[in-house]
Amino acid sequence: MELVCPAGTPAALRAAVDAGAHCIYCGFADETNARNFPGLNFSRAELADAVGYAHARGAKVLVAINTFPTAGHEALWHSAVADAERAGADAVILADLGLLAYAAEHHPDLRRHLSVQAAAANPDAINFYASAFDVRRVVLPRVLSVEEIAAINREIDVETEVFVFGGLCVMAEGRCSLSSYATGRSPNMNGVCSPPEHVDYATDGAESVARLGGFTIHRTPKGEAAPYPTLCKGCFTSGDKTGHVFEDAVSLDASTLVPRLAKAGVTALKIEGRQRSRAYVAQIVRAFRAVTDALEAGRTPPELALARLSEGQAATTGAYAKTWR
């Protein structure tokens, strides 16, 4: 199986390649990608260098251009596709219908992957993107069980890639405007969710309060680690219930499910975290590479001790194990 690893910086890309990533995904330093954070991502020159470094070591580079172009400003997204091809990228990861159509028409030889932001959650959606835009691989939304993934693979001809580690959206990705409702900036339009410039920490008596766009997302006793106020992971009240209405502060760890995902016909395993440090990336990549190598060799994969790297230090197998049903 192919291991697809995140890189927010050229240094992280080199670390991922050195740690054994088969494939690295990254983005340009602007709103064309869904991790548009300050100090992150690649210039055109950095991308060309990075592709050279990866190719020399047998690894591939995928460029995520997976936000939805702004009306009147499509040229920024069109040039990102052209620049990715010029830099020698092995594929672009796209979500927007119009951008897929543009890339298929103007860059027919540049391989196209469908981003998780397109939320293609069933064979009909995937076959639609494959036939309309010759998409070769689909990153599946994190809403499916392993059985559902196997069933999807039986009905499609394109490759599938699934998330196995890192942050976890519980909402269908690419279809969520919670962030713009509270802050004016959203993943679809700006490549950001719950952006830091709208975060405010305050103290109220014995508690610290974290707000996003003025809405209270967490209250924690002073002295305890206050989690970042990501909107859907907040603590809220509904009727007589108070708690994490949408999702507990956990992140995804599907490392134990890799053999089942392989049996389900999955081609590639994706690790989330372009915003994470290169040390983190290297550690996760090495751990997962041991799993995929063991599988290739017909050995039982090692159990990974990744708990302390998980967000909130608690992990879930998400929808894969069907516990949400």
Q: Work out whether 320 is an interface residue with another protein (CB under 8 A).
A: no
Q: Work out whether 99 is an interface residue with another protein (CB under 8 A).
A: yes
Size of the chain, expressed as the number of residues it contains: 325
Query: Within 10 Å of residue 53's Cβ, how many Cβ atoms?
Result: 17
Close Cβ partners of 196 (under 8 Å, ≥ 6 residues apart): none
CA distance 171 to 45: 35
CB-facing half-sphere around the CA of 306: CA atoms within 13 A: 29
Selected range binding another protein among 39-47, 51-59, 175-183, 283-291, rule: CB under 8 A: 175-183
CA distance 246 to 110: 38
What residue spans of 191-273 are helical by DSSP H?
A: 258-263
Q: Work out whether 102 is an interface residue with another protein (CB under 8 A).
A: yes
* Residue selected from 39, 238, 298, 305 as contacting another protein according to rule CB under 8 A: 238
Do 214 and 202 meet the contact criterion of CB atoms below 8 Å apart?
no
Q: Work out whether 97 is an interface residue with another protein (CB under 8 A).
A: yes
CA distance 158 to 18: 29
Which residue number, 120 or 287, has a Cβ lying nearer to another protein? Answer: 120
Q: Work out whether 203 is an interface residue with another protein (CB under 8 A).
A: no
Least Å from the CB of residue 104 to another protein? 10
Selected range binding another protein among 136-144, 254-262, 273-281, 294-302, rule: CB under 8 A: 136-144
Residues numbered 45-74 forming contacts with another protein, rule: CB under 8 A: 68-72, 74
* Residue selected from 1, 21, 135, 176 as contacting another protein according to rule CB under 8 A: 176
Q: Work out whether 180 is an interface residue with another protein (CB under 8 A).
A: yes
Do 256 and 149 meet the contact criterion of CB atoms below 8 Å apart?
no
Please give the order of strands across the beta sheet that includes 207-212. 199-204, 207-212, 215-221
Least Å from the CB of residue 261 to another protein? 17
Least Å from the CB of residue 188 to another protein? 7
Residue type, position 147, single letter: E
Least Å from the CB of residue 170 to another protein? 5
Residue type, position 281, single letter: V
* Residue selected from 110, 120, 138, 291 as contacting another protein according to rule CB under 8 A: 120
Close Cβ partners of 209 (under 8 Å, ≥ 6 residues apart): 201, 202, 203, 216, 218, 219
x/- mask, another protein, residues 13-52, rule CB under 8 A, reads ----------------------------------------
Number of residues counted as binding another protein (CB under 8 A): 69
CA distance 18 to 174: 32
Which residue number, 9 or 179, has a Cβ lying nearer to another protein? Answer: 179
Residues numbered 249-268 forming contacts with another protein, rule: CB under 8 A: none
Could you tell me the two tokens for 121? Answer: 């959650």
Q: Work out whether 301 is an interface residue with another protein (CB under 8 A).
A: no
- Provide the 3-class DSSP secondary structure of residue 204: strand
Q: Work out whether 191 is an interface residue with another protein (CB under 8 A).
A: no
CA distance 277 to 217: 26
Q: Work out whether 89 is an interface residue with another protein (CB under 8 A).
A: no
Q: Which residues are near another protein by CB under 8 A? A: 68-72, 74, 95-99, 101-102, 118-125, 127-128, 141, 143-144, 148, 151, 170-172, 174-178, 180-186, 188-189, 198, 209, 213-219, 232, 234-239, 241-242, 245-247, 319, 324-325
